[in-house]
Amino acid sequence: MHKKLLALILSLALCAGSAWPVISQAPPNAMVKQRQAAMTLLAKYYGPLAAMADGKAPLNKEVMARNAGYLDALSRMPWDGFAASTAAEKSRVLPAAYSEPAKFRSAQDEFIAAVANLLSLSKGGDGAAVKNAVGTVGETCGGCHKSFRQPS
């Protein structure tokens, strides 16, 4: 009930134009499925880059640039799936994602910017800079998860 009330309050706040720029019309369970799908694919395409950055796999510039491009698109996809109507759905999201929208949005923006920077650098030839950029993406993933996702 508490979560449903929160969802109602946030719905009203959203009507006032204060939060997410795109409100999906999908049912709440579909929105959760969609945002989790984006996270699944972010992990799929980030994993090999982290292995390269950590020296656990050889640097493959073609895969680096391809995955960076995929991540750039994917990094923008999860966020409208955290609409207020999803607050009562079962997932690992923490209440702070709904109660602290400015902080949540800021964490999203940091992640998106880190991926955009990685994409930009992946087109060049400096392996060290690209590896650093991969690390920064990982830090922005982890930072957001720490504040807004339950530990598994």
CB 125 within 8 A of CB 41: no
Rule CB under 8 A: which residues touch its own copies? 24, 26, 33-34, 36-38, 40-41, 44, 69-70, 72-74, 76-77
Considering the complex, state which of residue 72 and residue 100 has its C-beta at the smaller distance from its own copies. Answer: 72
CB 87 within 8 A of CB 36: no
CB 28 within 8 A of CB 88: yes
Tokens matching residue 6? 């929160």
List phi, psi (to 5°) of 99. Answer: -90, -15
Nearest distance, CB of residue 62 and its own copies, angstroms: 10
Quick one: which of 75, 66, 65 has its CA closest to 42? 75
Nearest distance, CB of residue 9 and its own copies, angstroms: 26
Nearest distance, CB of residue 26 and its own copies, angstroms: 7
Considering the complex, state which of residue 25 and residue 150 has its C-beta at the smaller distance from its own copies. Answer: 25
Considering the complex, state which of residue 8 and residue 37 has its C-beta at the smaller distance from its own copies. Answer: 37
Tokens matching residue 60? 């493959």
Considering the complex, state which of residue 50 and residue 129 has its C-beta at the smaller distance from its own copies. Answer: 50
Tokens matching residue 2? 């508490």
Nearest distance, CB of residue 134 and its own copies, angstroms: 18
